[in-house]
Structure 1
Amino acid sequence: MSFQRFLIKRTAIAAMLTLISVSVIFASLRLLPSDPFSGLVASGALTAEQVTQLREMYGLDEPIYVQYLKYVRNLFTLQFGISLTQQRPVGEIIIPALMNTLVLLLPALVVTAVVSSVAGMYAGWNRGSKFEQAGIVVTTFFRASPIFVTGILLLIVFSYGLNWLPAFGMRSPMANPQGYAQTYLSVDFLKHYILPFTATVLFYSGDFLMLARNSVVERKGSEFLMLHRAKGLSEMKQLARAGRNSLLPLVTYFALRTGMLFQGVITLEVVFAWPGIGRALVQAILNQDYPTVQAAVFIMALAVIVMNLTADIAYAKLDPTIKAGDV
């Protein structure tokens, strides 16, 4: 199978999965036993007539299929609607929250992938060493612990115990940053950034370390390394060649993990009160804010689908046999 056909097929599958995800999101919210305005009537905040007007305003009185078609059209044109609780465009809520999440997750994932992969390759090359044993024990411990537990432990030690770092939020209450530089590069931001960043690195380091270690262990006795050894190459050069041949699973796993990170970020952002998309989703669910929930879940689902597609393409590019077999 040619790479063009492979790419078309995978892209079509990704588009189909996106449509299925969108449909599931829509159906899940519409199957809830109550709508966003029912509680307002029960509490006396609004009259039944006012609720009827609100339902008409947001199109909730229209037939389900009409709501669905409008919903799909709006999502794919990035028109997320108006928040039911904050009465402002959902994009103004979701986009800054998404930016905050990416600022937290992407640097953490890159650092984790690079450092842990190098450490894993070294551990695999020196199998049975104390470095390998210590690396496996430490990373397995943090990987086995839920990420929110790691976050809470860091808060207990460094915020409440030693009082070195702030516990919550992305900046101090009195901070009023102007522009991206002051928002994401200030000393105040970096102090708030250290603990959630560390929790993310500790939690995901085990995956990359073990994957790199196992790949090097499998290749250490291979014929091409025996040939390099016979040629008199140094240990470091042999390790470099073994590591280079171990990059395929690491690259594809990095792409997959980037998409899946959005699942773990919800609890992490709640623990640290980080104003990201996960925390915005939790607040929207509690408030039954349909448009915000739909937009946040759609972005998270789209990230997973896009990164899975990226992993497929990376695999096909790095290993041409994948295209032929279309695994």
Structure 2
Amino acid sequence: MSFRRFLIKRTAIAAVLTLVAVSVIFATLRLLPSDPFSGLVASGALTPEQVAELRAMYGLDEPIWVQYLKYIKNLFTFQFGVSLTQQRPVSAIIGPALMNTLVLLLPALITTAVISSIAGMYAGWNRGSWFEQAGIITTTFFRATPIFVTGILMLIIFSYGLGWLPAFGMRNPTASPKGYLQTYLSVDFLKHYLLPFTATVLFYSGDFLMLARNSVVERKGSEFLMLHRAKGLSEMEQLARAGRNSLLPLVTYFALRTGMLFQGVITLEVVFAWPGIGRALIQAILNQDYPTVQAAVFIMALAVIVMNLTADIAYAKLDPTVTAGDV
């Protein structure tokens, strides 16, 4: 199979998966026993006539299939509508929240990938050493511990116990930064940032370390390294060549993990009260804010699907045998 056909096939699969994901979101919300306005009548806040007007305003009185078609059209054109509870554009809610999530996750993932991969390659090259054993035990422990548990323990120790770092939020409540530099590069932000950043790095370090270690172990006895050894290359030069040949699984896994990070971000943002997309999703679910829930889940699902597609493409580019064997 040519790379072009491979790309078309994988893109088509990604498009179908996206459609299935957003359809499940729509069906799940519509199957709930009540809508966002039902409680307003019971509490006496609004009359049935006023609620009927609100339902008509948001199109909730239309047939399900009409709502679905409008929903699909709006999502894929990134027109998320207006929040039912905050009465402002959903994009104004989701946009800053997504930015805050990316600022938290991407630097943490890049740091984890670089440091843990290098450590894993060194551990694999020195099998049986104290460094390998310590690295495996430490990273396995943090990988086996749920990320919210690690976060809570860090809060107990460094915020409540020692009082070194703030416990919640992204900045001091009285701060009013202007522009991205003041928002994301101030000392106040970095103090709030350190704990969730560290919790993320610790949780995902085991994945990259073990993947890099296993890749180097597999290649250590390979013929091409024996040839380099016979040429008189030093241990570090041999390790560098083994590590270069281990990059394929690391690159593809990095793409996959970037998308999957959104699955774990919800609990992390709740623990640290981080104003990201995961926390915005939880608040929208509690308020039965359909437009915000739909937009947040759509963005998170799209990130997973797009990064899976990116991993497929990267793997196919780095290893031509993938497309040759794909039927």
- TM-score of the two chains, using structure 2 as the length reference: 0.99
| Residues 1:88 and 2:88 are matched in the alignment | yes
Match for residue 13 of structure 1? 13
Give the aligned residue type for 2:119: A
Distance 1:33 1:241 in 2: 60
Give the aligned residue type for 1:176: S
Match for residue 133 of structure 1? 133
1:22 offset after TM fit, Å?
Answer: 1.1
Tell me how large the CA RMSD over aligned residues is. Answer: 0.6
Match for residue 64 of structure 1? 64
| Residues 1:35 and 2:35 are matched in the alignment | yes
Match for residue 259 of structure 1? 259
1:321 offset after TM fit, Å?
Answer: 0.3
1:174-213 mapped onto 2 (5 Å cutoff): 174-213=174-213
Count matched residues.
Answer: 327
Once the two structures are superposed, residues 26-79 of structure 1 have per-residue CA deviations (whole angstroms, 9 ceiling, x without a partner) of 111001111111111111111111110100000000000000000011011110
Once the two structures are superposed, residues 149-199 of structure 1 have per-residue CA deviations (whole angstroms, 9 ceiling, x without a partner) of 000011011101110000000000110000111000111000000000000
Q: Which runs of 4+ in 1 moved over 2 A?
A: none
Distance 2:16 2:186 in 1: 42
Give the aligned residue type for 1:148: F
| Residues 1:101 and 2:105 are matched in the alignment | no
Match for residue 166 of structure 1? 166
1:82 offset after TM fit, Å?
Answer: 0.5
- Matched residue SS, 2:27: helix
Distance 2:206 2:45 in 1: 51
Give the aligned residue type for 2:33: P
Give the aligned residue type for 1:32: L
1:222 offset after TM fit, Å?
Answer: 0.7
Give the aligned residue type for 1:45: A
Distance 2:81 2:270 in 1: 25
Distance 1:292 1:68 in 2: 16
Distance 2:313 2:168 in 1: 39
- Matched residue SS, 2:59: coil
- TM-score of the two chains, using structure 1 as the length reference: 0.99
Distance 2:322 2:91 in 1: 39
Distance 1:20 1:325 in 2: 27
Match for residue 23 of structure 1? 23
Distance 1:81 1:26 in 2: 15
Distance 2:8 2:190 in 1: 43
Distance 1:233 1:28 in 2: 60
Q: Gaps (5+ residues) in structure 1?
A: none
Distance 1:112 1:137 in 2: 17
Q: Gaps (5+ residues) in structure 2?
A: none
